[in-house]
Amino acid sequence: MKKSLTAFFVLTAVMASPAMAEMPGKVLHDDANCMKCHTDNPYSTKKTPTYPKLVKAVQFCNDNLNAGWFEDEVEQVADYLNQTYYKHPKP
Ligand code: HEC
């Protein structure tokens, strides 16, 4: 009983912490300074009409900039950009 109560409080504290409020993809995206170029060159569904193309585009800029993201991090950033800008249905 005591143990499960402790677990409950730890879990509540973790979920309420500010770090959890932001998507992991947003943190990666902000850290990599992507907006240095994409403020003048805004993300657009015209250039990136589907979710798989969005993942490819994120991978492309990741490679070019040597951001060094792993595949799952590229996915997280694509997810964040999709929810914020593109709103593509995910396959
Ligand atoms: C040095 C400038 C520069 C930086 C920094 C940069 N990009 Fe790009 N990005 C480009 C260019 C150039 C293109 C392709 C040309 C175009 O817009 O058609 C592009 C295209 C894209 C696209 C697809 C285009 C669209 O409008 O949908 C995405 C998504 C993208 N970048 C994500 C990122 C992410 C994520 C980062 C941070 C890791 C990043 N970019 C950093 C220059 C940059």
Question: Residue 67 and residue 30: Cα distance in Å, rounded?
Answer: 12
pLDDT of residue 6: 59
pLDDT of residue 16: 54
Place 1 in a pLDDT band, splitting at 50, 70 and 90.
Answer: low
Question: Residue 89 and residue 80: Cα distance in Å, rounded?
Answer: 13
Mutation test residue for ligand 1: of 44, 61, 69, 75, the one with most atoms within 8 Å of CB: 61
Between residues 21 and 25, the one the model is more confident about: 25
pLDDT of residue 3: 63
In contact, 33 and 82? CB cutoff 8 Å: no
Cβ–ligand 1 contact at 34 (below 6 Å): yes
pLDDT of residue 91: 80
Assigned token pair, 79:
């997810």
Task: Tell me: pLDDT of 9 over 80.
Answer: no
Question: Residue 52 and residue 9: Cα distance in Å, rounded?
Answer: 39
Question: What is the pLDDT of the chain when averaged over all its residues?
Answer: 86
What is the phi-psi region of residue 33: left when phi exceeds 0, alpha when psi lies from -120 to 50, beta otherwise? left
Cβ–ligand 1 contact at 55 (below 6 Å): no
Question: From atom 21 of ligand 1, which residue's Cα is the shortest distance away?
Answer: 57
